[in-house]
Amino acid sequence: MREVSGEGLPELLREMGAVAIKVDSVIHDIEDAEGLPEDAVIEPVTLETREGIEIYRHSTSHVMAHAVKDLFPETRIAIGPSTEEGFYYDFDTERPFTPEDLDRIEERMREIIAEDRPFVKRTLGKEEALKLFREMGEPYKVELLQEIEDREVTVYEEGGFIDLCRGPHLPSTGYIKAFKLLGVAGAYWRGDEKRKMLQRIYGTAFQDRQKLEAYLEFLQEVKRRDHRRLGRELDLFSTSDEIGAGLILWHPKGSIIRKVIEDFWRDEHLRSGYQLIYTPHIAKLELWRKSGHWDFYRENMYSPMEVEGVDYEIKPMNCPFHITIYKSALRSYREFPVRYAELGTVYRFERSGVLHGLLRVRGFTQDDAHIFCREDQIEEEIESVLEFTLFILRTFGFEDYEIFLSTRPEKFVGTPEDWDRATGALRLALEDKGLAYGVDPGEGVFYGPKIDIKVRDSLGRPWQCSTIQVDFNNPERFDVTYRGPDGREHRPIMIHRALMGSLERFFGILIEHYAGAFPLWLSPVQIGIITVSERHAGYGEGLVKGLRDAGIRVEPFFGSEKLGFKIRQATVRKIPYSVIIGDREVASGRFPVRKRDGENVGPYELEELVERLKAEIDSRSLSSKL
């Protein structure tokens, strides 16, 4: 596009709906179009593009900072980027912001937007910029400037508010049509818990009010499904300051679900030719030096403990243990592939600021497995793992997923040639299975490339779960061998894989995916028996026994409370089915079944009900079959 030049070009671009321009893949402010060469190819950036909405939200964060400085002049500003779903800005203030403060900030933002002031870019020498921000009393900007190596920097000004920023920005504040401040949280400066705690205001912005309202409704649904809230309400799990942050206490109902998941996992692994193993929680530190974890993963490990003069380390991974079991006997090529699987609990250091319910913890159980195979078996094994992974995910109700191939990171062990061979094997397996995938450059683990699978839940949110990793390095480090058909020692290939990732994280995802209303086979209580009055308790106890004898998880509601209260109890606990027992049911031996959504089906006799429930459970159906 270049039919107009000079001063008319920015105006033409604005008329086309552009908020910025792209030249040779670099984003610029619209006003920069005036100074570009005549032969430059300019691509308009609109609010319908990812880059456009990032600019829109980043500009809104500047307007928020402007409003904060107007209302609270003593506040010092830090950084304010756009995010995938909105924006935030960090502030150094003497007292935390209140909800009433956010209302005032929003009102002042609307006034600034109504003024439709232009975002004006200025280029300053670094020393000039340092002087400017020192005079403004903005130490966080000064610190950022001191780390910039460029001799010149850019600042943006609108309505008297000046901020250090690379840009680009919207042409003016009036472009902002719909925004909302969402809340406040603490955030350490530069993410360093040794630095000062700042106040982070979160917000979001959309091109129009309708999109904003839809997003706010989405946030309400996210809040309704929050696994931490549902974990308390449904009595599934908890954490305790007495135990320690990031360490999960599984309550009886949560433990029942975990047992169901584990039993399914073990049965399917045995059916797929895996051997189940168990390994310790600690090992000598020297093991982790040998594996490379101590050199490449130390920041995620805990301090060693001394036992009888020898340093031990709590395990962050299961792989060295599996290697040791493999090496406990001489191995022949005829045994291959050797597949070890373990539900192994590991411990990793996570900063307190990133811990989040079940989703980010310090102790968790990986559904881990390691496969030892010949090089000519790699592709077949990876394809088998991919099939197994998708089967597991679909069984739990995840049909939508994204696949990524993660390549060599900056810090790695092994040779580039081995990395290329491993990456090629993963890529070939994906392509042979006809699976679409993206490439995630530099995101492999230190010992090898990997395939990551992200599932999308019922709200369309992506979650990292499954991973498949090819490892040429650890077999070399641990001198892992097998006897080949030529009678000589050969080096096997090692494949690391986890299907669910960790039981804690996967359980948290399941809670939010189903909003706590699990399908029958996963529900901690599968049916409730509710009596109309206490005189029906004897008959109800017979039903409870009959159902439990059939292996069905049942909870009685035989108290003296009113019937409506007991029905509400079963509903709040999200029990899939309930049976209400009164005089008519006792007399006939047949009873209607109330579904979780309030629909009544039946009536059934006990034997027929057991048969139908067991059929639904055994099929692992994700929807009601009664």
Last residue of a domain, one of 170, 204, 225: 225
- Confidence at residue 106, expressed as pLDDT on a 0 to 100 scale: 97
Mean pLDDT on 197-215 = 95
CA–CA separation, 398 vs 465, rounded Å?
Answer: 11
Asked if residue 510 is part of any domain, the answer here is: no
Q: Where are the beta strands (DSSP E) in 71-227?
A: 76-77, 87-92, 120-125, 152-158, 161-164, 178-188, 197-206
| SS3 assignment, position 314 | strand
- Confidence at residue 2, expressed as pLDDT on a 0 to 100 scale: 46
The answer, yes or no, to whether residue 194 has pLDDT greater than 90, is no
Mean pLDDT on 185-204 = 90
Asked if 269 is an active-site residue, the reply is: no
Identify the band that residue 316 occupies on the pLDDT scale cut at 50, 70 and 90.
very high
- 168 shares a domain with 296: no
- Confidence at residue 7, expressed as pLDDT on a 0 to 100 scale: 57
| pLDDT tens string 523-564 | 999 999 999 988 898 999 999 999 999 999 999 999 888 999
Cis preceding linkage at 337, omega within 30: yes
Query: Among the options 28, 69, 227, 319, which is catalytic?
Result: 319
The answer, yes or no, to whether residue 30 has pLDDT greater than 90, is no
- 600 shares a domain with 479: no
Amino acid identity of residue 101, one-letter, is D
Asked if 199 is an active-site residue, the reply is: no
User: 0.85 exceeded by the pTM?
Assistant: yes
The answer, yes or no, to whether residue 12 has pLDDT greater than 80, is no
Query: Among the options 29, 101, 163, 368, which is catalytic?
Result: 368
Tokens of 165: 């920023």
Mean pLDDT on 258-267 = 97
Asked if residue 416 is part of any domain, the answer here is: yes
Bridge partners (DSSP) listed for residue 314:
282
Identify the band that residue 44 occupies on the pLDDT scale cut at 50, 70 and 90.
confident
CATH code of residue 407 = 3.30.930.10
| pLDDT tens string 177-191 | 999 999 999 988 988
CA–CA separation, 107 vs 132, rounded Å?
Answer: 29
CA–CA separation, 235 vs 412, rounded Å?
Answer: 43
595 to 257, 436, 537: CA distances (angstroms): 20, 39, 21
Q: What percent of the chain has pLDDT over 70?
A: 99
What number of other Cβ atoms are within 10 A of residue 341's Cβ? Answer: 25
The answer to whether 430 touches 403, Cβ cutoff 8 Å, is yes
- 437 shares a domain with 368: yes
Asked if residue 518 is part of any domain, the answer here is: no
Tokens of 562: 């009113």
| pLDDT tens string 400-412 | 999 999 998 888 8
Identify the band that residue 60 occupies on the pLDDT scale cut at 50, 70 and 90.
very high
Residue with tokens 């990395």: 419
- 314 shares a domain with 183: no
Asked if 366 is an active-site residue, the reply is: yes
Q: What percent of the chain has pLDDT over 90?
A: 76
Asked if residue 175 is part of any domain, the answer here is: yes
Q: Which residue has the higher pLDDT, 410 or 236?
A: 236
- 533 shares a domain with 498: no
Mean pLDDT on 243-257 = 96
Asked if residue 625 is part of any domain, the answer here is: no
The answer, yes or no, to whether residue 141 has pLDDT greater than 90, is yes
Residue whose C-alpha is closest to residue 121's, from 170, 52, 174? 170
Query: Among the options 66, 362, 427, 496, which is catalytic?
Result: 496
Asked if 360 is an active-site residue, the reply is: no
Identify the band that residue 322 occupies on the pLDDT scale cut at 50, 70 and 90.
very high
CATH code of residue 127 = 3.30.980.10
Amino acid identity of residue 560, one-letter, is S
Asked if residue 414 is part of any domain, the answer here is: yes
Structural domain for 32, as ranges: 8-46
Bridge partners (DSSP) listed for residue 367:
343
CATH code of residue 555 = 3.40.50.800
- 572 shares a domain with 478: no
- 247 shares a domain with 181: no
Query: Among the options 450, 497, 536, 553, which is catalytic?
Result: 450
Mean pLDDT on 165-172 = 93
Last residue of a domain, one of 225, 259, 283: 225
φ/ψ of residue 3, rounded to 5 = -95, -20
State the chain's mean pLDDT as an integer. 92
Mean pLDDT on 56-71 = 97
Asked if 368 is an active-site residue, the reply is: yes
Identify the band that residue 8 occupies on the pLDDT scale cut at 50, 70 and 90.
low
- 482 shares a domain with 363: yes
Asked if residue 509 is part of any domain, the answer here is: no
Mean pLDDT on 395-404 = 94
| pLDDT tens string 595-605 | 998 899 989 99
Query: Among the options 348, 497, 573, 574, which is catalytic?
Result: 348
- 416 shares a domain with 534: no
Tokens of 445: 């683990």
- Confidence at residue 446, expressed as pLDDT on a 0 to 100 scale: 78
**Cα angle vertex 573, ends 570, 575, to 5°?**
65
Identify the band that residue 325 occupies on the pLDDT scale cut at 50, 70 and 90.
very high
- 301 shares a domain with 424: yes
Please count the structural domains in the chain.
4
| pLDDT tens string 119-134 | 999 999 999 999 999 9
Query: Among the options 366, 377, 469, 526, which is catalytic?
Result: 366
- 221 shares a domain with 249: no
Last residue of a domain, one of 225, 246, 278: 225
Which DSSP helix (H) or strand (E) runs through 47? Answer: none
Listed in sequence order, the DSSP H helices in 72-116 are 99-115
- 437 shares a domain with 567: no
